Structure 1
């Protein structure tokens, strides 16, 4: 019963890309749909933000891995440095010849 009371009084939050239910005025409905469509386009087309969010997720995962497995994390850093160093050395050597 407590959930029935809460649901009847508390409005359900709507994401920026959603249209709230219960709008009866056609003009308000059209405005809400346009606002949601523009928000969806902004979310989808904002590539720098999406890349930034993906980078933040990867950094968080790497930090968590470093906390759980410090030895493997150090070995991964050394291995990556060796691979990058070898690639740079090979490029410079090929360019010098």
Structure 2
């Protein structure tokens, strides 16, 4: 079985590497992939917002009245915060 056939994540080091140079390269490649995954904040935010959108759509499909009530509550909360901030700034 070759690396292309296996289902290793990008951050895993393949087992069975006997050459120390190849092992070090594989470890470095895995470490850099892990850093890229953890450090890429815009990509992580995009993935999190996509997951949230899917959850919200699923909730709205199952409970349209609850989704409408939640939307009204969020709008009222945001409006109240904007009003409180504007009032605090104007004083």
Length-normalised TM-score, structure 2: 0.82
Task: Indicate yes or no: 2:48 matched with 1:54.
Answer: yes
Partner of 2:80: 86
CA distance in 2 between counterparts of 1:91 and 1:29 reads: 57
Select the structure of larger CA radius of gyration.
1
Q: Which of 2, 8, 12 is the equivalent residue of 2:6?
A: 12
CA distance in 2 between counterparts of 1:13 and 1:27 reads: 23
Length-normalised TM-score, structure 1: 0.78
CA distance in 2 between counterparts of 1:77 and 1:43 reads: 33
In structure 2, stretches of 5+ residues that fail to align are none
Question: Residue deviations 1:8-55, cap 9 Å, x none?
Answer: xxx432111011111122211111111111111111111111121111
Give secondary structure in 1 for the equivalent of 2:9: coil
Paired positions, count: 89
In structure 1, stretches of 5+ residues that fail to align are 1-6
**Runs ≥4 in structure 1, deviation > 2 angstroms?**
86-97
CA distance in 2 between counterparts of 1:33 and 1:94 reads: 54
